[in-house]
Structure 1
Amino acid sequence: MATNENRQRKASRYVVPVAVAGVAAATIGLVPALAASGDPDLPQITAQQLIEKIAASDTQTLSGTFKISTDLGLPSFAGLLPAAPAGSSSADPADRLTQLVSGSHTLRLAADGPDRQKLTLLDGSDEYSLIHNGNDVWAYDSKSNEVFHEKAEGGKGAKAEKELPGTPKELADEVLKAAGDTTSITVGGTAKVAGRDAYQLVIKPKQSGSTVESVKISVDAKTGTPLKFTLASVSGGKPVVDAGFTKVDFAKPDASTFAFKAPKGAKVTEGAAEKGAHEGADKPFGGLADLGGFGGLDGKDGSVNVIGEGWTTIAKLDSGAPAPKTDEAPKEVQGFLDALGDKVSGKFGSGTVFKTKIVNALMTDDGKVYVGAVTPQTLVDAANSGK
């Protein structure tokens, strides 16, 4: 009779394809957002002028409350995710912040320049707080009374700043140039966000085959600060991401907001800051830019090939091994995979398309994987082309 450990190992083999859905979390830049009713009368502005306004924004301080809702179109992961490794902390941000990729959550946010930020995730009567204060990063889980601490990385801001265009106009020119023939960028009217007047910047793919219907960013008319982010899928229904401020104040938060002392009796876990853990932190528009493709997957090392461009970019990987047969998976895993995947066939042979509302992946039976923010048919067409 198989041991529980053996069953878990066997089950994990079939859960691996499900991890493809996690790519969606990396392709979505979670800019706080939630539009309220209203249509303020604001001066006319072009897309280039609005991009310049965002780039010129010098917002260093703010505090507020916002809600974030994420709907990737996935069945429940309940009962399938592995338990946290022994000795790990329930306060570790690497684990806790993954909660934001599904469901609806309320958060409190405070910021005072690049060295002091605080985010508190509210879950009923429990709270989870993540605090960056100077050289320290603290995380506290009130439910388990556990604390996670590590030293913050620094010294990357100057390098990132040198790589950016010198003026807001130059940055706007670069954004519009990068959009090229694949992207439409327009101003889609105005809105009220957390009681403030805002312009709406609308980004849409011009290419057919993308799963992205539109990206809308509401920009504070006075400060140029992004206040709203909504990512919509061509499949319709609820937005994939709809996150936003319900209250916002640009005054400087009190210094005590970022002070932290481990509560009495709390378990404290020290973590080592991993190299690259904060990569991209100094690139506020990085998440948005990456929506149009997989910039880092150039295939130069032979492990990943890139097919297409812009919003219909597809990453192709060859595992060199046959894909696992889902019909041999444990029942609880098989049911999940059946809900997530569709059997497909074509000139390439046969395989399974694992679906979300944004990122889809085709795993062929001979071990090839095609991943992109494109429709399942676009993946099949890529596999049929033999590229």
Structure 2
Amino acid sequence: MAPYESDDSTATRRRKAARYAVPVAVLGVAAGTIGLVPALADSGSPDLPKITAEQLIQKIAESDVQQLSGTVKITTDLGLPDLGGLDGALGSGATAPGGEGDGSAADPSAKLTELATGTHTLRVAADGPDRQKLSVLENAAEYSLIHNGDDVWGYDSASNEVFHGTAGESGKHAEQPAATPKDFAEQALKAVDDTTSVTVDGTAQVAGRDAYKLVIEPKQSGSTVGAISIAVDAKTGLPLKFTLTPASGGAAVVDAGFTRISYAEPAASTFDFTPPKGAKVTEESEAERPVSPQDEEDFAKGLDKGLEGLKVIGEGWNSVAVLETGGEGIPSGDEVGGDLGGFIGSLGDQVEGDFGTGTVFKTRLINALITDDGKVYVGAVTQDALVKAADTRK
């Protein structure tokens, strides 16, 4: 978090923004926090004592699993467009945040975004809040992220590159939430309110563990979310399975889970790491442009200014965030021209209504309408719901 103090009005705006972000952050599911989310490996319906939804939610909240290891399989299908041809339009060559082009292939902030699409197999281990390890298994390579005390190591075997950062208060990785199944399920449960149906839908066996199935569904129409299903370990309360299905049907947007799990204490050596001989090591401070106090102050002012323009309309799963940028909308493909113009034109659908005209950018879960006069409407709602929201704001 940027080091600044907030007044009551700023705090209120942030709470409103957070209230909107609950369904979106939970349902958007990509990037870093997805890494340790579990699900799949479902077989059998064990005979377990009856339990209410409220009791099962409480069981999740009281779960205190500190040690585990296992294998996770995760499939994510957000329906994102293929970006493979974009390099030619924008120019190739990744650069570090400082703009020097020396970013590390092992930097977790970039590497873990690959989990946002496709199917991946992960190995995970945890021993309390200060030691975790996640390894992404690829065809002929492996990427590992290790947190051990104050150190965070990322290692990409394909490039033989190492990234070293810190987990202390001064390190950027201190700001990243702990990516555990329990954390993810708790975020999902924050979306539960009067617009939500929560039920226990029988039992299952996941990775050899008896589990209850908790189902969360929007009561309202207009949401892109069909249902969220969480399989909860009947003994420990740990979420073992997470599946999010869209209202449009078809394959799950996220289907992830343990295929193997053990609650035994992992060996201490699991979290040891020494850079291999010949590996290129990038320190966190080298990978980023140093942030001056003035930069931090400007960032805080910019964040507050942005939140001043953020409003939320609707409620529950039909919440739509509205940001009045005061600028112009997305340039058309004709205005940009060339390969980039064609790419931009292929991404969105042109729409019109009482609000005027604009472009809708869609995934299978999160949709955004950018009007030609610079207003932005975004939510886990259908295109029609976005247009209706924009019309009500006219």
Work out the percentage of aligned pairs sharing the same amino acid. 62
CA contact (8 A) 1:299 1:305 kept: no
Partner of 2:8: none
Q: Is the 8 Å Cα contact of residues 368 and 378 (structure 2) preserved in structure 1?
A: yes
Q: Give the aligned partner of residue 88 of structure 1.
A: 103
Contact map agreement 1:186 1:201 (CA 8 A) in 2: yes
Equivalent residue, structure 1, for 2:205: 192
Question: Following TM superposition, by how much is the alpha carbon of 1:327 offset from its aligned partner in structure 2, in angstroms?
Answer: 3.0
2:355 matched to 1:340? no
Match of 2:322 among 303, 312, 316: 316
Determine the structure 1 residue equivalent to 2:69.
Answer: 63
Q: Deviations over 1:18-53 (max 9, x none)?
A: xxxxx7788326321114221111111100111111
Q: 1:27 aligned to 2:28?
A: yes
Runs of 4+ in structure 1 off by over 6 angstroms are 23-26, 175-178, 297-300
Q: CA deviation at 1:256?
A: 0.3
**1:1-387 equivalences in 2 (<5 Å):** 27-28=28-29, 30=34, 31-80=37-86, 83-85=93-95, 86-153=101-168, 179-272=192-285, 301-323=307-329, 324-386=331-393
Q: Which moved more, 1:314-323 or 1:55-64?
A: 314-323
The one-letter code sitting in structure 2 at the alignment partner of 1:83 is G
Tell me by how many angstroms 1:63 deviates: 0.5
Question: Structure 1 residues 34-43 or 352-361, which shifts more?
Answer: 34-43
Over 3 Å counting, the alpha-carbon distance change for 1:220 and 1:335 in structure 2 is farther
The Cα shift of 1:118 comes to: 0.2
- Report the Cα offset of residue 79 of structure 1: 3.0
- The alpha-carbon deviation at position 271 of structure 1 amounts to 0.5
Please state whether the residue corresponding to 1:179 is helix, strand or coil.
Answer: coil
Paired residues in the alignment total 328
Q: What is the rounded CA distance, in whole Å, between the counterparts of 2:27 and 2:219 in structure 1?
A: 22
- After superposition, the Cα gap between the structure-2 partners of 1:25 and 1:267, relative to the gap in structure 1 and judged at 3 Å, is farther
CA distance in 2, matches of 1:178, 1:243: 20
- 1:289-346 deviation digits (Å, cap 9, x = unpaired): xxxxxxxx99984221111121111111122222211233445434444443211111
Distance 2:119 2:65 in 1: 27
CA distance in 2, matches of 1:244, 1:352: 36
Helix, strand or coil for the counterpart of 2:308? coil
Unaligned runs of 5+ in 1: 1-22, 156-171, 275-296
Distance 2:375 2:383 in 1: 15
Give the Å deviation of 1:83.
Answer: 3.3
Range with bigger deviation, 313-322 or 330-339: 330-339
Tell me which amino acid in the other structure corresponds to 1:113.
G
Contact 1:24–1:358 under 8 Å retained in 2: no
Gaps of 5+ in 2: 1-23, 96-100, 171-185, 289-302
Give the match's secondary structure for 2:86.
coil
| Stretch deviating more after TM superposition (242-251 or 28-37) | 28-37
The change in CA–CA distance for 1:377 and 1:26 in structure 2 (over 3 A counts) is closer
Instruction: Give the Cα separation in 2 of the matches to 1:353 and 1:319.
Output: 16
Q: Quick one: which amino acid aligns to residue 333 of structure 1?
A: L
Counterpart residue type for residue 358 of structure 1: L
Residues 1:176 and 1:77: Cα distance change in structure 2 (over 3 Å): closer
